[in-house]
Amino acid sequence: MSLRRRIATLSSVAALALSAVAFTPGTAMASPSNCSYQYGSSWVSGLCTSGTGKHFVVVRAQHYTGLILITGLCVPIGQTSTATVNWPIVYVGSSAC
């Protein structure tokens, strides 16, 4: 086998190996845990202290047209997600994002 052919073959193998690493999927789902919530008449905060990925606070509130969903910002585990709520709070929880 000539030197040119060997170099071309090695380059092809290296490119295939690098593409396999580049296209390997990451974590399929975030799973925050150990979450706690606090809320007042017009605000909600949620903090997840363990798990993987990111999370956001989820609020179900009673609007005059019916139940509405309000979400806070998507933040890393260990940071607090907050939301402003102008209607009576029915439910507070969190979700992965």
What pLDDT, on a 0 to 100 scale, did the predictor assign at position 2? 66
CA distance 95 to 89: 17
What pLDDT, on a 0 to 100 scale, did the predictor assign at position 5? 56
Evaluate whether residue 5 is within a structural domain: no
DSSP states along 15-51: HHHHHHHHT----S--EEEEEEEEE-SSEEEEEEEEE
Evaluate whether residue 21 is within a structural domain: no
What pLDDT, on a 0 to 100 scale, did the predictor assign at position 53? 92
Evaluate whether residue 36 is within a structural domain: yes
Contact (CB, 8 A) for 29 and 96: yes
Number of other residues whose CB lies within 10 A of the CB of residue 77? 20
Counted domains in the chain = 1
Contact (CB, 8 A) for 39 and 85: yes
Q: What is the pLDDT along the chain (97 residues), one digit of tens a residue?
A: 665 555 545 445 444 444 444 444 454 477 899 999 999 989 999 999 999 999 999 999 999 999 999 999 999 999 999 999 999 999 999 999 9
The parent domain of residue 37 ranges over 29-96
pTM of structure: 0.67
What is the enclosing helix (H) or strand (E) of 52? strand 43-52
